[in-house]
Amino acid sequence: MLGYDISWAAFNIIEVMSASKFTFKRIGYLAASQSFHEGTDVIMLTTNQIRKDLSSPSQYDTGVALTGLSCFVTPDLARDLANDIMTLMSHTKPYIRKKAVLIMYKVFLKYPESLRPAFPRLKEKLEDPDPGVQSAAVNVICELARRNPKNYLSLAPLFFKLMTSSTNNWVLIKIIKLFGALTPLEPRLGKKLIEPLTNLIHSTSAMSLLYECVNTVIAVLISLSSGMPNHSASIQLCVQKLRILIEDSDQNLKYLGLLAMSKILKTHPKSVQSHKDLILQCLDDKDESIRLRALDLLYGMVSKKNLMEIVKKLMTHVDKAEGTTYRDELLTKIIDICSQSNYQYITNFEWYISILVELTRLEGTRHGHLIAAQMLDVAIRVKAIRKFAVSQMSALLDSAHLLASSTQRNGICEVLYAAAWICGEFSEHLQEPHHTLEAMLRPRVTTLPGHIQAVYVQNVVKLYASILQQKEQAGEAEGAQAVTQLMVDRLPQFVQSADLEVQERASCILQLVKHIQKLQAKDVPVAEEVSALFAGELNPVAPKAQKKVPVPEGLDLDAWINEPLSDSESEDERPRAVFHEEEQRRPKHRPSEADEEELARRREARKQEQANNPFYIKSSPSPQKRYQDTPGVEHIPVVQIDLSVPLKVPGLPMSDQYVKLEEERRHRQKLEKDKRRKKRKEKEKKGKRRHSSLPTESDEDIAPAQQVDIVTEEMPENALPSDEDDKDPNDPYRALDIDLDKPLADSEKLPIQKHRNTETSKSPEKDVPMVEKKSKKPKKKEKKHKEKERDKEKKKEKEKKAEDLDFWLSTTPPPAPAPAPAPVPSTGELSVNTVTTPKDECEDAKTEAQGEEDDAEGQDQDKKSPKPKKKKHRKEKEERTKGKKKSKKQPPGSEEAAGEPVQNGAPEEEQLPPESSYSLLAENSYVKMTCDIRGSLQEDSQVTVAIVLENRSSSILKGMELSVLDSLNARMARPQGSSVHDGVPVPFQLPPGVSNEAQYVFTIQSIVMAQKLKGTLSFIAKNDEGATHEKLDFRLHFSCSSYLITTPCYSDAFAKLLESGDLSMSSIKVDGIRMSFQNLLAKICFHHHFSVVERVDSCASMYSRSIQGHHVCLLVKKGENSVSVDGKCSDSTLLSNLLEEMKATLAKC
């Protein structure tokens, strides 16, 4: 609390939380929300208390519990309480509703499995009558969508509606922000948004809303790559509005304006560049936040022309800046600006190097390594600059004490790394190599960080090699020996370094130099050989160039090189092995380390060993002290730093002078160009008018003084500078990346806390003590059912929505309550081949409730449902039947609770002959036609007729055409423009022995009667002998059952339907049936598209719906040898026809 730890009071807090008085409870929850977190162990004790409070009659108790929970919800709490919170989402009080909605976000984060079950209700809350609840729902969905926008695209139409209707600015801002996240995924959405957004921009008076609108418009414009007619107009509008913001006296608006401007900059730099004046002005603002934002924008402002000017301005800022963060920011920005797109804007690299050198004088910057990297990069890429760079670097090395001595030498001494490397690598350009060598060998260098010293050591040798060569060429043997002597004298200081790398390199090189000394004493020329050590050129290598290297054939990187260590090695053996190894290692190491001339070193090592050995009586001083005594350090002359020394290093040229030089150079260039132009013009003068007297200087005219050497193939083709690696696997929001459009599976339910498992309620023995529970249980179940039903409805809606989204996006006018249903691909168009869209839809509409029915269908040629799953399914069902059988033995009173009636699924079947829904239409020697008629819920009064054509002959069938005589009631949907008498072509040809399916849509006006349509299939049969015209007549029989669609229904809804009383009734009875009841039901389900609502013993209620929305309810009872079917339907004719059809079906059994 207030930053202090009060975890000791955690338990007491829980006690207060459980107080009965609201006053105390509130304080308890407050304390909990302040101090509890996931690590608090007593938090699990709160679950039941919170549940109690959530269901408290007082809304404030509930509210307080929700508020508290939102702060300390853990995965466990989220899982246990998710269902309780779900129910609170439809609480009567909006105060509770909005809190429950908001807390769901936290629950989702902790328990991602809850997202899918809860989402439909959350979506429902978007249209809550209370604005507070609505805003909360918008809030939650926006948060969710921000992380995984693609899952929420289907909500776009809903949000669009909200956006155009809502007046609450807070909600509007959220929605507009959400759209900003969605548009990159769906450019069409952007097109739709632009207009209302621009309207809002023009109309709103709220700055916050205006700003968000502009922001989203920018996002839209970014997502639209091209093809907007008034594209530039919108950009102009945005930029113009932003300019107003930036010019505003309110600093906040200025800041936001700049922030938004930088977003435009990325895609439309041109339109921002016109406001350069304004942005440069902001650079001088006294507010750091604003200056930082302006800096961001500068990146896009620079050109070859103004780069120097801008950087000069920034350099003055660097001098003035007081905070290190701002200065560091400036530094990185300068480097960013200069180095962007491969130094595109730099015309004079001497200037750039001097800028970099000037930057090294910044105290306490964290970005020394950045400067160093730039120096190295430039020196390597720009060959012409090397001479200059080397001279600058040697000056830097010379004044290294200034860089390294500053108290905060955390970053800037990195520059020395680059300086040493450049001087060594390009030592041939050095004017006074000897001087530089001495500078690099100064004792002070040993105070630098290890990795810099290592580079020093390495480059000292390079330098040494080049000096040696110079001297030998000049014939100065004396001089060469003097240099060698210098090396021998100074290198030992590195040998004593604490850094292993430095030590290793130094001792290696020391030996080398000593060897050279010996050779020199014998007057052997060595320079050639020494410089051969460093022959060759170094080239820049891109960071991911490794990818370009192909893995050699036969090399398996995953294979073990050695046999993996066996685990058989017992634990107690291991220490001995380690000990053994160590002993072996030591003698092995020694010869490599110890050199015959380094006795002193060896001695020291021994001393060290002794010092570390606790059993050795020490006579020498402690190792640390001795360290100071080492000769190298003793000899360090303590340099007095003269504080009055000016910060500008004498001899270093200032960058400013380059600005002048550059101007002169440009001027010269221009003059030359002008001259040339004049000459040309003089030639043409007579013929043409002068259209531009002023020579316009464009960027391209300025040629850079030096050439940048960019090796184009540095990067492997398949590696992008920043591909992959940017996804954080630990991101908690990734768990919420869940597809919300998929229909809910039955298993996806929020866990409901129960005292007993459901199995116990099924087993009849334990039923007795549950009497009091019985009264509660049905209610609960009912609720569950209702929920489920609602979910399902939602799901269906969502499916529709998903289709609608495309439709919604494709139309230009704002969505008036969709006048006509979206044209599903099947209208008249013939969808070819087995599984096509309309069919899928049908399947979807049938949903899971279809259950076992698939079994029969599954044997159909083109449908393959996964067998193993089915088996499992069946097993489950069998178990259920067993339970049921047991329940029969129970006294009738308890039957209700015990016999879990089969619900929402077709009954199981033992063995049913393979059946096909396809019925024979017509056949002759050439072709066999079978057809299946399916209704679809989406299109009322339309049915899809799938006709399978099978070629039985040995000739190719082509030019097939289907002509159907329409009746008054039923019409075939034909392609536009064709008359009623034209045939509809079949979109495929049939080679011998092949079958294929074509689908046709028929519009039916009245579905209460069965009817038949006459039709003819005409085709050309072509074989080796020739082609013949053939015809086949058929009759399409639209039975009433074919207008029905399998629709799941729940017992409570079913009961309501029956009670409603507006259904007419009729019944039939069929005798002589020997088939089992289950198979019977399956037959009805399959042939007449019914689904079982509830089944108890030999009695079952069934439900189906016609494509025009008639409800059909059946009660099927099985007697000894007979079956009676009572039906209720909203249309009596339909019912009687249906029953007639059913009678025919049953009679076959």
Partner 1 sequence: MIKAILIFNNHGKPRLSKFYQPYVNTQQQIIRETFHLVSKRDENVCNFLEGGLLIGGSDNKLIYRHYATLYFVFCVDSSESELGILDLIQVFVETLDKCFENVCELDLIFHVDKVHNILAEMVMGGMVLETNMNEIVTQIDAQNKLEKSEAGLAGAPARAVSAVKNMNLPEIPRNINIGDISIKVPNLPSFK
Residues making contact with partner 1 (CB under 8 A) = 2-4, 21-23, 26-27, 30, 34, 37-39, 58, 60, 64, 66-67, 70-71, 73, 95, 98-99, 102-103, 105-106, 132, 135-136, 139-140, 142-143, 146, 169-170, 173-174, 177, 207-208, 211-212, 251-252, 254-256, 286-290, 292, 325
27 vs 956 by CB, closer to partner 1: 27
282 vs 419 by CB, closer to partner 1: 282
Can you tell me the distance from the alpha carbon of 927 to that of 969, in angstroms, rounded to the nearest whole number? 29
What is the nearest approach in angstroms of partner 1 to the Cβ of residue 330? 14
Amino acid at 63: G
Helix (H) or strand (E) holding 50: helix 47-54
Q: CA 1011, 1017, 1018: angle at the middle one, nearest 5? A: 155
The candidate with the shortest Cα–Cα distance to 214, out of 194, 230, 229, is 194
What is the nearest approach in angstroms of partner 1 to the Cβ of residue 190? 20
CA torsion 501-507-508-514 (nearest 10°) is 160
Beta bridge partners of 756: none
32 vs 419 by CB, closer to partner 1: 32
What is the nearest approach in angstroms of partner 1 to the Cβ of residue 92? 16
What is the nearest approach in angstroms of partner 1 to the Cβ of residue 34? 8
Given a contact cutoff of 8 angstroms between Cβ atoms, the answer to whether 1111 and 1127 are in contact is: no
211 vs 1086 by CB, closer to partner 1: 211
Can you tell me the distance from the alpha carbon of 998 to that of 948, in angstroms, rounded to the nearest whole number? 6
What is the nearest approach in angstroms of partner 1 to the Cβ of residue 30? 5
71 vs 715 by CB, closer to partner 1: 71
What is the nearest approach in angstroms of partner 1 to the Cβ of residue 75? 13
What is the nearest approach in angstroms of partner 1 to the Cβ of residue 206? 8
4 vs 560 by CB, closer to partner 1: 4
Cα 684–chain centre separation: 62
- Residue 579 φ then ψ, to 5°: -60, -45
The candidate with the shortest Cα–Cα distance to 1076, out of 1118, 1133, 1040, is 1118
212 vs 908 by CB, closer to partner 1: 212
137 vs 495 by CB, closer to partner 1: 137
What is the nearest approach in angstroms of partner 1 to the Cβ of residue 682? 58
Q: 759-762: which pairs have CB atoms within 8 A and are 24 or more residues apart?
A: 761/897, 762/883, 762/898, 762/900
24 vs 1054 by CB, closer to partner 1: 24
What is the nearest approach in angstroms of partner 1 to the Cβ of residue 5? 8
Given a contact cutoff of 8 angstroms between Cβ atoms, the answer to whether 294 and 279 are in contact is: yes
DSSP string, 203-265: H---HHHHHHHHHHHHHHHHH--S--TTHHHHHHHHHHHHHHHHHSS-HHHHHHHHHHHHHHH
92 vs 692 by CB, closer to partner 1: 92
What is the nearest approach in angstroms of partner 1 to the Cβ of residue 20? 9
What is the nearest approach in angstroms of partner 1 to the Cβ of residue 141? 11
152 vs 1019 by CB, closer to partner 1: 152
In the sheet where 956-964 sits, what is the strand order?
A: 984-985, 956-964, 1011-1022, 1027-1038
What is the nearest approach in angstroms of partner 1 to the Cβ of residue 689? 54
What is the nearest approach in angstroms of partner 1 to the Cβ of residue 289? 5
**DSSP state for residue 540 in the 8-state scheme:** -
In angstroms, the Cα distances linking 50 to 22, 62, 892, 1022 are 14, 9, 41, 79
Can you tell me the distance from the alpha carbon of 1044 to that of 244, in angstroms, rounded to the nearest whole number? 63
105 vs 926 by CB, closer to partner 1: 105
Can you tell me the distance from the alpha carbon of 595 to that of 1039, in angstroms, rounded to the nearest whole number? 104
In angstroms, the Cα distances linking 829 to 947, 972, 985 are 14, 11, 10
325 vs 834 by CB, closer to partner 1: 325
HSE-CB for 257 with a 13 A CA cutoff: 24
136 vs 652 by CB, closer to partner 1: 136
Instruction: Spell out the residues 6+ positions from residue 451 whose beta carbon is closer than 8 angstroms to its own.
Output: 417, 499, 501
What is the nearest approach in angstroms of partner 1 to the Cβ of residue 172? 10
What is the nearest approach in angstroms of partner 1 to the Cβ of residue 36? 9
What is the nearest approach in angstroms of partner 1 to the Cβ of residue 534? 43
- Give the three-class secondary structure for 407: coil
- Give the three-class secondary structure for 469: helix
246 vs 380 by CB, closer to partner 1: 246
Can you tell me the distance from the alpha carbon of 783 to that of 775, in angstroms, rounded to the nearest whole number? 14
In angstroms, the Cα distances linking 267 to 261, 426, 760 are 11, 41, 65
Q: 124-129: which pairs have CB atoms within 8 A and are 24 or more residues apart?
A: 124/794, 125/89, 125/97, 125/101, 126/155, 126/158, 126/159, 126/162, 127/158, 128/94, 128/97
140 vs 805 by CB, closer to partner 1: 140
Quick one: 1052 exposed, middle or buried, by C-beta within 10 A (0-12, 13-18, 19+)?
middle
Provide the 10 A C-beta neighbour count for residue 846.
Answer: 20
Tokens 């350099």 correspond to what residue?
315
What is the nearest approach in angstroms of partner 1 to the Cβ of residue 272? 20
- Pairing between strand 919-923 and 942-951? unpaired
CA torsion 544-547-548-553 (nearest 10°) is 160
105 vs 1019 by CB, closer to partner 1: 105
